[in-house]
Amino acid sequence: MTTRTQETAQHHTGTAVDPMDLLDVESLLTADERMIRDVVREFAQDRLEPEVARWYEQGTLPREIATELGTLGVLGMHLDGYGCAGTNAVSYGLACRELEAVDSGLRSLVSVQGSLAMFAIWRFGSEEQKRHWLPEMAAGRAIGCFGLTEPDFGSNPAGMRTSARRDGTDWVLNGTKMWITNGTFADVAVVWARTEQGVRGFLVPRGTPGFTAREVTRKLSLRASVTAELALDGCRLRAEAMLPEAAGIRAPLSCLDEARFGIVWGAMGAARSAYQAARDYACTRVQFDRPIAAFQLTQEKLVNMAVELNKGTLLALHLGRRKDHGALRPEQISFGKLNNVRAALEICRTARGVLGASGITLDYPVMRHMTNLESVLTYEGTSEIHTLVLGHAITGIPAFR
């Protein structure tokens, strides 16, 4: 027997609407994309989800998870050749969404490895550098990090002080990089430094004399992710350590565009998880003799979450299709990152309220997602910087300084 509510929901299509996918975005995916999504979802839910609250509480992420993600095939999955899976951009986005539905820290590991470190080598490296690093990194046997930000230069990386000077045919690097994801367990750091010919990228293997990494502790966000400070103190590298095709600050910025695309999708994973937790809780938690989902004020919250979640997911898919057609512009990525991270954070905050006191614990994923998204809002370009990118696109007037 169907209730009146169910009858309403079934009115047009004859099937009940999916509360997680009101617009049926699922129908816009290909069979291959769904298959890849399902494989990642199964791994994420079976292997990662049961452990993640403990990792978060302890402020750790076990190194072996990277190898398992490599075996799964998600590291550099959107790159071609050199042991990479060569999927389309939408599939990569779907994988990011499933990983971030567990925790932004896990998606960060995959983003930094695939879209920042591997992409930099794949796009700007020599054939020898690609052959040496990419297959190992795709398998998760080697981990990479990406050192752009410095203690005094975050939003304005072009001001960087880290320098690389020639000494014979060698390079000697000096400087400090800050907030570097995967920094302490990376086998290779992609480090950006100022040279006489402008900004250049260098591959710094772990253990190189003069190169050290120190973990950033006491974080209240992205706790299931390693963040580090990198110190380069007279770090001597052979000439071949430089990425030959990366000249100027545009090179690292193009890597950031890759990673931001994954964030556009990933943020909707965190938002989905928070919305789902709030919906489930609201349907079972009874106050004043009724499930709290029966109150109009709660329904409004759930509806607002669902609307933003569906809009953000459609936006991610639209940008993914454009990327697969080679038509995605940097301002459009800024649009996606700005909107989806902001929306995801709002969804998490609303979900936290729906869960009442329970919402502040690690028994539910909501507040963990919420604190993680504070980092996601800041890294890969803050919301202010993406606003300025769009402001420039709209008015033609740069307002960065």
Ligand X SMILES: Cc1cc2nc3c(=O)[nH]c(=O)nc-3n(C[C@H](O)[C@H](O)[C@H](O)COP(=O)(O)OP(=O)(O)OC[C@H]3O[C@@H](n4cnc5c(N)ncnc54)[C@H](O)[C@@H]3O)c2cc1C
Kindly state whether residue 232 participates in binding ligand X, applying the rule CB under 6 A: no
- Give the integer Cα–Cα distance in Å for 259 and 253: 10
- Give the integer Cα–Cα distance in Å for 27 and 352: 30
| Shortest CB 321 distance to ligand X, Å | 27
Which range of residues in 52-60, 89-97, 122-130, 174-182 is near ligand X by CB under 6 A?
174-182
Helix-, strand-, coil-residue percentages of the chain, each rounded to 5 = 55, 15, 25
Each residue 55-94 as x (binds ligand X by CB under 6 A) or -, in order, gives: ----------------------------------------
Kindly state whether residue 154 participates in binding ligand X, applying the rule CB under 6 A: yes
Nearer to ligand X, 107 or 352 (CB): 107
Among 56, 124, 146, 171, indicate the residue that binds ligand X (CB under 6 A): 146
Q: At what angle do helices 330-354 and 366-378 cross, to 10 degrees?
A: 150
- Give the integer Cα–Cα distance in Å for 133 and 142: 8
Among 88, 91, 184, 375, indicate the residue that binds ligand X (CB under 6 A): 375
Phi and psi at 210, nearest 5°, equal 90, 0
Pick from 257, 242, 258: nearest CA to 114: 258
Return the bridge partners of 145, or none: 189
| Shortest CB 187 distance to ligand X, Å | 15
Token look-up 């470190």 returns: 117
Q: By beta-carbon distance, which residue lies closest to ligand X?
A: 154
| Shortest CB 46 distance to ligand X, Å | 26
> Cα dist. 152→159, 176, 226, 252, 270 in Å?
9, 10, 21, 17, 30
| Shortest CB 195 distance to ligand X, Å | 18
Which range of residues in 128-136, 145-153, 236-244, 326-334 is near ligand X by CB under 6 A?
145-153
Kindly state whether residue 378 participates in binding ligand X, applying the rule CB under 6 A: yes
Tell me, yes or no, if 380 is annotated catalytic. Answer: yes
Kindly list the catalytic residues: 380
- Give me the residues that bind ligand X (CB under 6 A), please: 112, 146-149, 154-155, 179-181, 222, 227, 375, 378-379, 382, 384-385, 388, 400
